[in-house]
Structure 1
């Protein structure tokens, strides 16, 4: 019995319709009650069809990417995909081809994750895919972006908490997680941690299945995988594809890119799509691809040759006809690679494919769908679940404790070098050096968080694009449970050790101002590093730029070079230096209204009265004992010499806070750009 196809709204899991017999069986298994998934679905399509008619198709897909030279001169756009029309039915559908042929690009376009430079249409079950399509399908990236310190069950539960709506009870979500774990054979490792670089966890195949399980939480009718066997040994790769094959038997569409599978994997495929330099070479049954090469292309596969090796080798052989130096065709005649695509377009197989695709696109264009992306849970629940995960990571990850330990060691080392500084003229220079070294230590220590931020960025891009949570919720959690407790804690530990070992200026107000300034310096430097990690995906590049930024901020701090001596064309950079603002604040705190002088050999009385009554040194409140009044220097004079008298110390605190907040705003902009559809 045919019935109306219904898909979930973006807030609910994707469900496919069932016939009466299937529905009755499900009712019997739940005691006559509707399961939570059935209660949550909303109408997405108005097309009437049976469940077995679910399919995905693409029609005339083209993708162009702009190119520029190193001098920013615009070049002709590069063709990534060219006139791709294909259909993917229920079962395991493999997209194959040589490296750089456009496999991942096609997967991203089909899943709704890439739209920039793309023309053509993608249809799912009779309707053009909506804007929220990427939220309601499963997508497993090539690199598994899951938390290593959480268990398999906790990772899957995190997906359930954020991707299933609040109408699902905790019991429903727990039961759903249990069912998915059982479906993917993860019972034996469900309570084992995934594993990190410091501590080994589950195997690569179990890790990949965990990533798949996190996507199956929303009961998607279609799941995309980008090279799921990459990095796995042969036996593990077969195991992963076997689980995907079993999932597809439950009327799911599985579309995966795969480079060069072994024969045991080929036997599990229902459909094969071959690409060569962005052109379609074949789309159809996996059983018919070898006969197609033999009958149409005149290329016969030897008896003991792996079919995947055979047709990928043939495609590779033809692509060598291209001139790699100039990117042009050597001969005026079409290359054999393009001839493969041309022969497919002229084949009976392609004619049959077009007969299927033409009515699909004609029907789909009559029912345009455009849904605005949203999330299954509101902002506050997103922050809550992210905070729960962050708290587990905080208590289990040993790296923050290593950082605190290293900070203590560094603080003691600095305090020993500048132990109990004197108040003579030499001590004045030493105090300025101790302050500057303290600032540099805290500023440089922020770079250590870049590796963590880089890993978080990859996870964030995937989870936010898949509809787990918003960028605002992520930043709120990062600031409140990462930047503040983990990155600023070292500054709080560092401050009292250095302050009292170095015998900086006495007074509770002076000490707490020192702690406040060092804390804000840590916040600003970490915010700058976080901003760089948000803008730049490559860790090596981000690391180099982070170090360069800290060094530049150090150069414009006001200690190594007097800022007034800088040329106007470069002097403006000092206003973006967090080292400068903290250095000025520290110097004001330490040297305001003080005097430093050489000592007299004999013990003399305190010269306070002379200083105040005769106006010999009006810059100080107290002159140290045994002070040679003929050889003195006021702390205010040192501030003038270093050019740090432009703002008082509280203005520098304000500017330091503003600078750190500006970096966080730019981080939000960068993450918003990274997670939007491209």
Structure 2
């Protein structure tokens, strides 16, 4: 019998019934027989990718630990331990074990539930299985008997607990952009749209397909629809292994039930599905095929979900009142045995001051080690994927587009996701309102006297301040706000980071060019600046150059801190530094502090504005007692040579490029870890 990778469907209705101690052996025998029937011809250059490749996942003795950051080099506790312990003991004290030896397996067509109280390690195990946590991990995890590789990574879909979706996009737009970025180039546009249409119908999203995702203060789709959209985002590329972190969190019973029915349909299409779950209803609980119950990082049950009550009953743990199975299991996992009958021999050797819940948990862990784990490990050794499946999963599933194709698609999505911010009414009113206010305050100003010249120079400096602050604050929050979207999509290899950065910069530049232009057209003619075509366009060019450089600085500091809270603080400090060293408030800076002004692009921008607006030979103050004087002699230009050329243009242009280069490098360091 020959079955293609894409056509292999595991129907759970054909699984052999499991009963008692033979449950695990019969299940694995089934998959052993099914694997023997699969014959897949794998060619490195030609493999059909229209359906999920069957994956049989096995994980054995999985451990994970995190470093204890509180034990610093000068910590007195660590110093004391160092004196009295061996090097191995000190090394152990530096880490906290989160997962403590977990074993299990799951095949195509099955849904495995990871259950346990908060902090038990469910999400950590899910991330380890999904390849999201690779450091400080021990144990053996195989996918069709192959270890984790970049090729395996592209067979895995990961749905996080938080639905990380762009709020301004509709459901259909979200899926369409994902399809165009992730599906292979061999598919035509019509085929990609058809794939989106199929996914929308499969997940029951027809009613809300044209509704925005929403979030925060933006009204959008419901929680259940958002979760199904997140799942659709992943299954568009037919992942063989689908991992979900608390998919029913925040959903009502009806929405959660619909979601599990959807997952059952996805599993029957040949996918292997693992989901963490906290406290499901009894109906949802029985929808899972397998269950892994974790307590304090240790497994205390692994097997068929429907046989959990039978297993714990055999250990003499029985509910004394009518109880949801999930609630019963969570009580056992936390050691809270109120309304539960337990074996009396648990507490025989217990000291009076000992916590009874610890004894319950330790007893269940011991029973798992002696009854369930050896059988599961034996089944691991008895079941192996055929060679053709092992070869198939090592073939990298190519879907990455060319750089230019990614740029075109991502530019459209970035613009759609941010266009409301670009053309915000309040932002437009602010720019035009400030322009009108400045125009009225400096109405037809002139340079006839020293005082009038000082006022006009003050206006030029305020224009620098306004657009430096506006563009700096507008850009510094971009990457901190989109941090989680970017991490999610980069982990899925959706696009190159360079494509994202250039799209983000160019799309944001639309606003950073349009608003200063509208602003400047109003201010320039109302305030009485020099009315020549060359002077107008040169001054506009300088203002736009200041805005673009400020945008680059904002992106650099935003990428460096990657925190919304710290980004605001950084922007305020940088703006204050640039403001004080800009050359207006303090012209003669002490020598030991002069290096600061060379870091300030406002300093160069202000000097450039003065050079393009005023001529050193131009006369002013002709009505004074001393008669006409050249502008260069004014105290306002004491540190500016109006005939010194426009070298500041190259300085600002270099700064704009360098800021963006450093922003990209910081972004790569923060995201691609």
| TM-score bucket (shorter structure) | 0.7 to 0.9
Is 1:661 the counterpart of 2:628 in the alignment? Answer: no
CA contact (8 A) 1:404 1:489 kept: no
Q: In structure 1, the residue corresponding to 2:443 is in which secondary structure?
A: coil
**How much does 1:624 deviate?**
4.5
Match of 1:377 in 2: 401
Matches within 5 A, 1:32-431: 54-69=55-70, 76-89=94-107, 90-195=109-214, 197=216, 199-296=218-315, 299-316=317-334, 335-336=358-359, 339=362, 342-343=365-366, 345-358=368-381, 375-393=399-417, 399-423=423-447, 424-431=449-456
CA contact (8 A) 1:404 1:493 kept: no
Q: TM-score normalised to the size of structure 1?
A: 0.78
**How much does 1:382 deviate?**
0.9
**How much does 1:189 deviate?**
2.2
Distance in 1, Cα, partners of 2:145 & 2:365 = 28
Task: Identify if the C-alpha distance between structure 1 residues 397 and 428 changes in structure 2 by more than 3 Å, giving closer, same or farther.
Answer: closer
Match of 1:326 in 2: none
Task: Identify if the C-alpha distance between structure 1 residues 645 and 622 changes in structure 2 by more than 3 Å, giving closer, same or farther.
Answer: closer
Distance in 2, Cα, partners of 1:161 & 1:496 = 41
Match of 1:29 in 2: none
Unmatched 5+ stretches in structure 1: 7-14, 21-37, 320-329, 594-619
Which string of whole-angstrom CA distances, capped at 9 and with x for unpartnered residues, describes residues 375-425 of structure 1?
431111111211332344466667545423321112222222333334222
Distance in 1, Cα, partners of 2:222 & 2:112 = 25
Task: Identify if the C-alpha distance between structure 1 residues 52 and 581 changes in structure 2 by more than 3 Å, giving closer, same or farther.
Answer: closer
Is 1:504 the counterpart of 2:523 in the alignment? Answer: no
Match of 1:513 in 2: 538
**How much does 1:592 deviate?**
4.8
Which string of whole-angstrom CA distances, capped at 9 and with x for unpartnered residues, describes residues 3-45 of structure 1?
6x85xxxxxxxx464599xxxxxxxxxxxxxxxxx99986699
Is 1:471 the counterpart of 2:472 in the alignment? Answer: no
Task: Identify if the C-alpha distance between structure 1 residues 219 and 301 changes in structure 2 by more than 3 Å, giving closer, same or farther.
Answer: same
Match of 1:584 in 2: 607
Which string of whole-angstrom CA distances, capped at 9 and with x for unpartnered residues, describes residues 223-274 of structure 1?
1122222333333233222321222222321112233333332222222223
CA contact (8 A) 1:62 1:80 kept: yes
Task: Identify if the C-alpha distance between structure 1 residues 152 and 93 changes in structure 2 by more than 3 Å, giving closer, same or farther.
Answer: same
**How much does 1:655 deviate?**
2.1
Is 1:526 the counterpart of 2:551 in the alignment? Answer: yes
Distance in 2, Cα, partners of 1:345 & 1:161 = 47
Distance in 1, Cα, partners of 2:661 & 2:404 = 20
CA contact (8 A) 1:400 1:486 kept: no
Match of 2:635 in 1: 638
Match of 1:9 in 2: none
Unmatched 5+ stretches in structure 2: 12-38, 79-93, 338-352
Distance in 2, Cα, partners of 1:548 & 1:494 = 26
- 1:540 pairs, out of 565, 580, 598, with 565
CA contact (8 A) 1:586 1:649 kept: no
Distance in 1, Cα, partners of 2:96 & 2:384 = 27
CA contact (8 A) 2:444 2:526 kept: yes
CA contact (8 A) 1:425 1:633 kept: no
Distance in 2, Cα, partners of 1:666 & 1:72 = 32
Distance in 2, Cα, partners of 1:621 & 1:449 = 39
Distance in 1, Cα, partners of 2:542 & 2:552 = 15
Match of 2:347 in 1: none
CA contact (8 A) 2:57 2:142 kept: yes
CA contact (8 A) 2:335 2:361 kept: no
Distance in 1, Cα, partners of 2:482 & 2:375 = 46
Distance in 2, Cα, partners of 1:647 & 1:315 = 80
CA contact (8 A) 1:94 1:257 kept: yes
CA contact (8 A) 1:131 1:372 kept: yes
**How much does 1:349 deviate?**
1.0
Distance in 1, Cα, partners of 2:296 & 2:656 = 46
Match of 2:82 in 1: none
Q: In structure 1, the residue corresponding to 2:66 is in which secondary structure?
A: strand
Distance in 2, Cα, partners of 1:230 & 1:18 = 29
**How much does 1:196 deviate?**
5.2
Corresponding pairs, count: 605
CA contact (8 A) 1:184 1:213 kept: yes
CA contact (8 A) 2:57 2:143 kept: yes
**C-alpha RMSD of the superposition:** 3.9
Q: In structure 1, the residue corresponding to 2:135 is in which secondary structure?
A: coil
Distance in 2, Cα, partners of 1:252 & 1:360 = 19
Task: Identify if the C-alpha distance between structure 1 residues 494 and 52 changes in structure 2 by more than 3 Å, giving closer, same or farther.
Answer: closer
**How much does 1:302 deviate?**
4.2
**How much does 1:437 deviate?**
1.9
CA contact (8 A) 2:155 2:241 kept: no
Distance in 1, Cα, partners of 2:72 & 2:455 = 48
Q: Which moved more, 1:182-191 or 1:623-632?
A: 623-632
Task: Identify if the C-alpha distance between structure 1 residues 205 and 314 changes in structure 2 by more than 3 Å, giving closer, same or farther.
Answer: same
Distance in 2, Cα, partners of 1:580 & 1:408 = 25
Match of 2:624 in 1: 627
CA contact (8 A) 2:56 2:385 kept: no
